[in-house]
Chain A
Amino acid sequence: MKPAPFDYVAPDTIEDACKHLTEAGGGATVLAGGQTLMPLLALRLSQPFILVDINRIAALKGVSRTDGGTRVGPMTRQNEIIANSTLAAALPLLVTATRHVGHWQTRNRGTIGGSIALGEPAAELPATAIALGARVEARSARGTREIAAADLYIGPYSTALQPDELITAIRFPEWPAGTLPLFREVAQRPGDFALVGLTGAVTVEDGRISRAGIAWFGMGPTPVRASQLEKALLGQRVAGLDVQALAELAIAETAPFDDHHATAEYRRTVGRRIFARTVSEQLQPRNAT
């Protein structure tokens, strides 16, 4: 660990943190759990003038039920999310997805806000936030605004957040009982970033799909919402789903790329299959042959 020189502040309040971000005029980097930032600093790929460490801000931690949903503080550690009984009941998909983030040791430090703010296109949590229809609360000295997770990502590691903005909450809407999680990740080793990943929630009422939120990770320069699929699923009878045809629609909006781990065509091919496999297992367990 031998980063380039930087200044360091560890404010106790959101207001102070925002003040530092404003004063830095774009030269600040926020330190949350540090599971990506620390290696980047060590490699000198990240060379901020000032590091704003938000680990001491109590207001950024914790999970609470709100009107119409669940609020998750961005500094909630990933292992805390996995162990949280409120989330287990309200957002089982979020818990499942978080289990796939890194390793047990990294999840002790890694935070949900850090992962969502980083915007790694192959990471589990940004795509899951999109699938669940989360909104991100961003605060700056200029005020507070909410950004839909689906609008947050504009490129690899690039978000709609302004340099002076800090994520202060991730707000998940209510998903009714009877919502089934769809999650499958294909990674070369457990804990790796995905070659292909599917994350989603589908609500089934009286045998018909009444609500669907589905997104991909590792399938493009950003997490990709499968909005055509979501529309097509609405109102469909679960028992009669044409899974193969839907699989084609599921990947219609993805834009995967080649790298030395896998090609775009591999990602599309396997994406279709894990969609079909996951939907069959979760939505049609009795129909499975």
Chain B
Amino acid sequence: MSAPQAGTPSYIGRRMPRAEDTRLLTGRGVFVDDIALPGMLHVAFARSPIARGRIRSIDTSAARELPGVHAVLTARDLARFNIDLISFFLVSPSIRIPPLAEDRVLYVGDPVAMIIAQDRYLAEDAAGLVTVDYEEEDPVVTIADARRGSLVHAGSESNVAAASGAEEPDEDLEALLTSAPCLVRHTIRHQRIAQSPMETRGVVVAAHGESELTVYISCQSPQMAARYLSMAFGIPQTGIRVISKDVGGSFGLKVQPWREEIAVVAAGRLLARPLKWIEDRHENLSASNLAREQEIALRIAFDEAGSILGSHVDYDLNNGAYPHGPDSNLAAMMFFWAAHRMPAFGFRARGWYTNTPGLGAYRGPWAIESLARETALDIAARRLGIDPIELRRRNLITKADQPLTTPLGIRLEDITPAECLDLLLQKVDVPAFRAEQAAARAEGRYLGLGITTYIEPTAGSAGISVLSTDVAQLRIEPTGKVSAVLSTHSQGHGTQTTMAQVIAERLGVAFEDVTVYEDDSSRGGFGAGASGSRQAVAGGGASIKAADLLVDKVRRIAAHLLGADPAHVRIQSGRIHVDGAGEKTCSLRELAEIAYGEPERLPAGMEAGLEAQYRYRPPPVTFTSAAHACIVEVDPDTGFVKIRRWVCSEDCGVMINPAVVEGQIAGGVAQAIGTVLLEEAGFDARGNPIAVTYKDYLLPAISDVPDFEYVHASTPSQAEGGFRGVGEGGCIIGPPTLVNAIADALSPFGELAPLELPLTPARILEVIEKRPLSGASPASSPQAGQPSPPSVPHSPPPPVEKPTGTRPTIDGLWKMVLATPMGLQQFTARLAANADLLTGTLQSEMGSQDFTGTIEGNALRWDLKVSKPMPLTLKYDVRIEGDRLTGKVKMGLFGTAKLTGERVPE
């Protein structure tokens, strides 16, 4: 039952025009700002003009008195909701994240008060009348500030939001690196990026009584938005109807409702009036969560032949004040060398709190790994005198090397970066280019070629509980038409087209007869929507499985009605045929009418109707591979870069719609061009954003983006349908491809090192002329190989009580919660004390495990070995206070997680 219906036009693999485009391009899209509800009021926010300070007082009286203003709310007014703003991983972070600032403001743009008025004009007028008395403090703006500055979040131990990897250098690795024949160091400072969707954030809320809401919101998944709102407010998810028909881009920003959206929903409940807030562009560029801002110091050791011997990465990431999830970007480290033969790898990765807008996701959140690796490999190639393509070939894992499991526990079965590179080189004549490059140099013109490879984990379904499964609910309606309710969602992805292609092909009906619905959380089941390049794989797989269930039922009914063998029944273009019996035929509509209206004619015991649902969990991870090439010309007089050619060779498995695939790649590469050449969401020393309009935040325009060329390898994946995700790749592989092309053009002058993005004309001219022209502050760059100064703890660690005669009662059953980056893990442990020796048994979903440890006063320590998600030793360090316990668990590469617990009365 896995083959598509024979004889039906094949839709999978066809460049079908997108079904949604006519509507969108003729102004018939429905975005949040198109929604108007009777009695709706409008929201504006009064925001902090300073990056850091204490709120002495807020005077809202003048704002309240303005005619047309209905309410002015501050954090105090929302306190009754006891809102729990959770991270993307559904974990309550250790810091408090209030929807509106409470006693302190932590970044410029921090919402302090919300004004609800007759219209947005009045609301903005009143926002200007809110007077806040601040006690201003020096802000922590950069990563360097975070290392030495005062605490962003009072009460935390340091400004480290999240950490992973080894805090101390590994002696063996250090010895290997320092004694290697060739050690390449590379440092990068990646600027802050604004996701900058064409449609900003926005929400319209209508509360119905205490426990029901209708919420229109610009998001990445109505299902996920409903889930977060449900958790934030403690209302059953079924009571929350989230509608999000059309969304004008998101790129990670709208992955979950955040402070302003949550505040608007809370106010809508408080006032019992429909409310609307549409973020304006100034708010979007200055106060929305942002992305990237990373510093990385990479070392790679090679032998004389260019084989990699080992590598170390020191990595820091600006988390801002309120990140969507405290993050040290472990994924970047996991995938850094996953596609390469890498004998020894170590890293230290840390995320830092600062007084800037929080870290949000951005297409390929772990993309720094490809940027750092691929740019460093080109530097190494120049140093070693080996062709950069040859250097990659010597180190890439090929099809012949697989299956294998990387040292960090990633199972590789079918990655194809080396094969994509071969395909790429069929399109790009490198020797011809090198000849052209040499001739141009003789004329004083500087051409450069960048070639890169990468692998991208897509549709991950393990480890992150919100990204496990997706659902397809299919119905052949009594009319014979097919409706599909999916947990996919489009912010421009074209899923209403691609999913209909899959369903139409599998069912054997016309594409035009399939309608996909994914805009209303009340229609379908839970699912992740657009996140992690998952929709083709997860949504496509669910659609195939559900369609196959329906086909099976149609065959059995048709066989019963027509007197045929089910194996001989097929559906073709919406009609039922029986092989070898041309007279035995009926339309799908006739069959559906019977299935719904005359169930007595169905096979005995069969459920009426033609409906099927399948919740699909894709393989743990499905890899997409690619190799890109870019050719540029750099003007040595001005430092300007002209992109002359860009070729993309990618393997995203079976393509549902090549036009959509290429659109995804092109969009990502366009963003990459912006990242490398133009965009920077910077801050001055006081934490003021300096690019708050499109006059200063420079996005790539059509004039800056070339026509891309594509080659597709199309190796079927292990997932249902053979699909692989392709949503983020262009944004991941694009930056190093362009940087490498520029660096190749500049190679007669010197290296782009340290690499600071964006590569403004001034930075490029600086390399050509070997003199300061860009004004880049050297203090902001990390030094290669030099470990950063350790963070200074600002509050002492919890004291270890001296052993006394009366230590707390340890013996008994304890319930514990561990806040891991992937989510909360709950378990119980039975502890028993015997002098200074601790014994215990830990009981979780994974089973039960015994351990022994030590007791010192109220401090308990024990180690626990686990095998999933990879072999790890978990080091528990716990303090008992009466019937409660707190502590932390060191989880090897995964960093440290907070542990809380309480005694279970027996």
Contacts and interface: CB of A to CB of B under 8 A. Distances in A.
Where chain B touches its partner, the secondary structure class is loop
B762 A263 contact: yes
Given A195-B761, A262-B761, A189 B698 contact: yes
Contact of B120 (A2, A39, A262): A2
Contacts of A277: 637
B762 A266 contact: yes
B693 interface: yes
B760 A186 contact: no
Interface stretch (B329-337, B657-665, B770-778): B770-778
Given A189-B701, A263-B762, A263-B775, A39 B124 contact: no
Contacts of A188: 677-678, 698, 760-761
B680 interface: yes
Nearest to B682: A260
A274 interface: yes
Where chain A touches its partner, the secondary structure class is loop
Contacts of A258: 775
Nearest to B282: A43
B773 A266 contact: yes
Given A2-B124, A43-B282, A189 B678 contact: yes
Interface in B756-789: 760-762, 765, 769, 772-775
A39 B693 contact: yes
B285 to A, nearest CB: 11
A274 B775 CA distance: 21
A189 B700 CA distance: 8
B598 interface: no
Interface residues of A, number: 28
Contacts of B698: 188-189, 192, 261
A44 B125 CA distance: 10
Contacts, number: 75
B166 interface: no
A38 interface: no
B696 interface: yes
Interface in B710-761: 760-761
A5 B703 contact: no
B690 interface: yes
A175 interface: no
Contact of A266 (B128, B691, B761): B761
B817 to A, nearest CB: 45
B640 interface: yes
Interface in B17-33: none
Interface string A248-273: 00000000001011110110011001
Given A190-B703, A192-B698, A269 B125 contact: no
B121 A189 contact: no
B696 to A, nearest CB: 7
B704 interface: yes
A39 B692 CA distance: 12
Given A188-B698, A263-B773, A270 B638 contact: yes
Contacts of A189: 678, 698, 700-701, 703-704
A42 B682 CA distance: 22
B695 interface: yes
B326 to A, nearest CB: 29
Interface string A169-202: 0000000000000000010111111010000000
Contacts of B640: 186
A269 B768 CA distance: 12
A273 B695 CA distance: 26
A5 B773 contact: no
B762 A260 contact: no
Contacts of A261: 696, 698, 760
B703 A260 contact: no
Given A262-B761, A274-B638, A193 B773 contact: no
Nearest to A191: B701
Q: Which of A43, A190, A260 has the most CB of B within 10 A?
A: A260
Contacts of B120: 2
A232 interface: no
Interface string A133-169: 0000000000000000000000000000000000000
A61 B682 CA distance: 42
A133 B638 CA distance: 29
Contact of A5 (B125, B693, B704, B775): B125
Interface string B215-257: 0000000000000000000000000000000000000000000
Contacts of B762: 262-263, 266
A186 B761 contact: yes
Contacts of A193: 695
Interface in A38-55: 39, 42-44
A204 B695 CA distance: 39
Contacts of A239: none
A9 interface: no
Interface in A1-23: 2-5
B337 to A, nearest CB: 34
Contacts of B772: 265
Contacts of B638: 186, 270, 273-274
Contacts of A186: 638, 640, 761
A269 B693 contact: no
A195 B639 CA distance: 12
B693 A43 contact: yes
A245 B569 CA distance: 88
15 contacts: A2-B121, A186-B640, A186-B761, A189-B678, A191-B701, A195-B761, A260-B680, A260-B691, A260-B696, A261-B696, A263-B773, A265-B773, A266-B639, A269-B769, A274-B637
Interface of B: 120-121, 124-125, 128, 280, 282, 637-640, 677-678, 680, 682, 690-691, 693, 695-696, 698, 700-701, 703-704, 760-762, 765, 769, 772-775
Interface of A: 2-5, 39, 42-44, 186, 188-193, 195, 258, 260-263, 265-266, 269-270, 273-274, 277
Given A42-B280, A193-B695, 15 more contacts: A2-B124, A4-B125, A39-B693, A43-B282, A44-B128, A186-B638, A186-B640, A189-B698, A260-B680, A262-B760, A262-B762, A263-B762, A266-B762, A266-B774, A269-B769
Pairs A-B, 5 closest by C-beta atoms: A266-B762, A263-B775, A273-B637, A190-B703, A266-B773
